[in-house]
Amino acid sequence: MYRLYYSPGAASLVVHWLLIELDVPHELALVDTKAGQQKSPDYLALNPNGVVPTLVVEDQPLYEAAALVLHLGDRHPQAGLAPALDDPRRGAYLQWVLNIANTLQSPLRLWWYPQDIDGERADLVREGARRRIEATWDRLDAHLAANGPYVLGDRLSAADFYLTMLMRWTRSMPRPGHTWPHLGALAQRMKARPSFSTLYEREGLTEWA
């Protein structure tokens, strides 16, 4: 049994989505981030970074969204969402998950929280983040055009779930990720999965449905 500490629409979304997709037993623990619950002593004892997600696996709390994506894919090989160690696509899979984390999730955090870098020049920080994000969308869309329809070609993987979550995060940006043609096609394909509807129902989400 997994226990996921989550906040609707946050980085925990991809972990929650994968738990549903994998159809494995899990329970949810809502973290009220608006009330600052993620900074409480009890939560910090699980995740000293004070953010979601945290996934408790066999009584061990684990965190970092990208790490949890990789971990769940490997723990449930029957779902086929992670290439095995001897699969020729394994290296590309690891590359893309970590690349998505570094080139999208990191600057997206700066877009939403520019004060983490420089509160007095928040507009400049946000503009720099926007340029990095859009350059990454250019590159990913070109990759899908040449090698798609999924990140690993014709094989669905956990990387596609992660990438779709981050497209959702850009829905209110000047140019959302799904407006690139091949990324948009991937988003539509992923949102058509039954697990996505279940995810939205459980988290009480409606936007970008």
| The CATH number of the domain covering residues in 2-80+196-203 | 3.40.30.10
The Cα–Cα gap between 103 and 138 comes to 12
- Supply the mean pLDDT for the chain: 97
Domain map of the chain by residue range? 2-80+196-203, 90-193
Q: First vs last Cα of the chain: how many Å apart? A: 28
Position 116 pLDDT exceeds 90? no
Architecture per CATH, domain 90-193, reads as Up-down Bundle (1.20)
- pLDDT tens digits, one per residue of 192-205: 999 999 999 999 99
CA dist., res. 108 & res. 130, Å (int): 8
Q: Does 117 score more than 90 pLDDT?
A: no
Contact 56, 2 (CB under 8 A): yes
The pTM (predicted TM-score) of the whole model is 0.97
